[in-house]
Structure 1
């Protein structure tokens, strides 16, 4: 039981630790938690494209059924946001998804999604962790049943309806898009949705490969070479590139002029676009660009900053009826949808945005109005068991200046964010999904960002 730990987005581990007996214990804990909460409805179970995911999902289903719950099991691997939508749409008791998201193939994971379809907050995951135990089946005549269902079509209907309400049209018949599923569960889901809206599609890595081609299904620029080349080639007729991570809750966007668009810039463009017809605040994580704040100020709106983890974004969106919520790693959702990051919905919305006005033009305009913003991050290896010690010691080592600039303020909402006198910032925080510390920096040019990242790495090296 001590091996099972719910981090930023569920429990993830290598297959040496992520075993069938432990998955059954998670299933039992969730069943006990739901029963203690008086929730008796069916439970959704989904899974990603990894070799072991279907088997683990079936183990969860059997454990839940043995506790008296009916289970709606995904008919095939599907994106995590489809399961989240199904939970809210069908008034389910909650759901579980077997996925390790963007982690390499030797990992797997499980996340619990409560009855509102939003990510589980620590009070919930802590309550589940407290109930970890060997399965305790009821008498067989009290067992629930498992039924396989298609989570894709209802989600697609909702995505079309929502985007039409925002944009006025989801006619993408004039758009040629390239889509890279990275061999993950977005295949036959995101691309099918774009085709349903009329787009012409070029597909990349849209075949299931549990090994993800030998890499990780992480939609970073260095992993999307073929997609970027297809969109930026002068001879290409592709208008826009879209990629999803392994469980398709995140999005990456590629344009003809910029190539890979930094997720911060896409977030700013998305918020600016939504504010043309809607009003409302934005919620961003502490690691996300201040450009969002500048866009908000220009429209007379506000921004709420929260720790990293979409659960905090979702909570703040509910508290303030925010228009949009997002994080620099490519996870976004909008008002009117479930409060869970959704790379499938965002693929449709990004395409509709681009069809209305090229994203490159909107980003150029935003940077012209609000100033150039550059952000980057690095990782410093650090075992999970050492993270808290390093951060505790770092608190006593915070300098008065960083890379020659005075530290004006320190934000401790999630690690240490040093706000500098020139408007730049440096953030050090622990990853909730990997044995590393993250170092982020934002400034007005790449050279300055590199200086800040080197300074941050220098702060950590003596401590790690």
Structure 2
């Protein structure tokens, strides 16, 4: 795309939204900013699209949102006229323009005669997933950029099962979106007309109440939680959507000592009390930790703005709060579920991703529960839940990924931080009856199964030049032969672009039974590994690391050595 021509097209459009026109005028003399805004169309990928707010074809604005909605409308029309009245459920978080983008989406869908159900106010992503299933809708959209900085927003698409689009469905919708030539010329219906005709229906309690009822099934031991009157919980929704459902859900379980971080309970598109509204980042827990120390908190719970990710922190023996990783929390949840549930089916299945710790697999094995790896992204976990639900081959008992996403009950088909908050609190109550914290329970798991440690590093590279650098890093690691990484030998290299696993010693190649993706994973000796993956939603390349040893000290040494070796390689490229 020649960005100058695209800029001229927008700048010369007489009906351009006034606020976007003003923003465009403010960067007229900034060539780099203009190029980044217009050098391509904002990519609509397998999960939808996400980008910075502002004018331009490579930005989130009412016109690029209309383009995505137009593609979705054509996709639904292609499935048949009977899909139109089934409709699309629309939810949104606390970000700038979120509600406006939801309404714009409804206006485009309405122009095609497609029913839209729009929540009257902020709702979490997992409730949207539930709503699609509960209303028997054709699909859903959440307007959110998850835990990205304030200048971002996004358009996340769901299918009729309430899951994010798997690759085959995504490819069809992406093709329809890409066929939309001129985002400035998309016709929309008037909001008032759609409300009058019933094609735009506002929803709230008719979905909230059934979701809360379904949430009761997450409670493994209701008697335990009803009697856990001494459990002190601190909860922060990080200026997002989770307060009402989490607070009410915990009280529904009988957990009455729930202390809200009030400064972070107010929806705020600037996320003004944190550097990043991401429970993966320890700084996001600063206020919760302060409050936890004041009230003697047993567990701190934090959710990201759209409430699909959850982090927890618990006190150590010195009263200092430690933030658990997603892998550690997932391991604790899995062990608790398998040890305390009395209805685990014989064909039970754990589903995790290829960059999630092997700790979960080992725990599942100890209970004779099968485990399955998917590509990174909860849409693949949701896809497998549906597949096995239909075939009966396996019964889903838990799904998680290292990036703080968990699903306990499959009434939602995406990661659900509301469910995870319920289970985390129940676990804390259970271990407190044993005179233990979640840290004690985790240490017990390590002693039983080995010390699994993981880490994640991200390199942020924005703009066109950043995308080229990320591509260069992947090419270097893909085409360079490695026999050792630090002191550890390379056993195999998995390249998911070709779905092939190359065994180094035997010089043989075998097929990986997963969809193709731009991911590289290096399997090292002694149960160690590292993985490279460009983010699908952010201008980043991510490096995942995993090790195992019989002692914490040895695992820490191995983790440090692998990271150093990879960083040394990176320094020769970037």
TM-score (norm 1): 0.93
1:442 to 542, 546, 566: 546
Which structure carries more helix by proportion? 2
Q: Which has the higher contact order (CA 8 A, sep 6+)?
A: 1
Further displaced range: 7-16 or 201-210: 7-16
- The answer to whether 1:25 aligns with 2:67 is yes
Q: Residues 301-380 of structure 1: matches in 2 within 5 Å?
A: 301-318=369-386, 319=388, 320-358=394-432, 359-380=438-459
1:14 to 12, 31, 52: 52
Partner of 2:310: 251
2:361 and 2:484 map into 1 onto residues whose CA distance is 24
Partner of 2:276: 216
2:534 to 430, 442, 446: 430
> Any conservation in 2 of the 1:8–1:309 contact (CA below 8 Å)?
no
Deviation, 1:244, is: 0.4
Deviation, 1:143, is: 6.4
Query: C-alpha deviations, 1:79-125, integer Å up to 9, x for none?
Result: 11111101001111111111000000100000111111111112222
Partner of 1:61: 106
Number of matched pairs = 460
- The answer to whether 1:275 aligns with 2:332 is no
> Any conservation in 1 of the 2:408–2:419 contact (CA below 8 Å)?
no
Distance change >3 Å, CA 335–CA 189, structure 1 → 2: closer
Distance change >3 Å, CA 144–CA 388, structure 1 → 2: farther
Deviation, 1:296, is: 1.4
* Other structure's SS at 1:373 match: strand
2:202 to 148, 165, 169: 148
Partner of 1:180: 236
Deviation, 1:130, is: 1.7
- Structure 2 alignment gaps of length 5 or more: 2-39, 389-393, 433-437, 497-516, 549-554
- Structure 1 alignment gaps of length 5 or more: none
Deviation, 1:441, is: 1.3
Partner of 1:420: 524
2:403 and 2:189 map into 1 onto residues whose CA distance is 43
* Other structure's SS at 1:462 match: helix
- The answer to whether 1:400 aligns with 2:483 is yes
> Any conservation in 2 of the 1:283–1:325 contact (CA below 8 Å)?
yes
2:77 to 8, 28, 35: 35
TM-score (norm 2): 0.76
Distance change >3 Å, CA 206–CA 418, structure 1 → 2: same
Cα RMSD (Å): 2.3
Further displaced range: 338-347 or 435-444: 435-444
Give every structure 1 segment of 4 or more consecutive aligned residues whose post-TM-superposition deviation is greater than 4 Å: 136-144
Query: C-alpha deviations, 1:102-157, integer Å up to 9, x for none?
Result: 00010000011111111111222222222223535689799652122114332222
1:211 and 1:155 map into 2 onto residues whose CA distance is 29
Partner of 2:28: none
Distance change >3 Å, CA 10–CA 79, structure 1 → 2: same
1:316 and 1:410 map into 2 onto residues whose CA distance is 25
Query: C-alpha deviations, 1:386-406, integer Å up to 9, x for none?
Result: 434432332122421111111
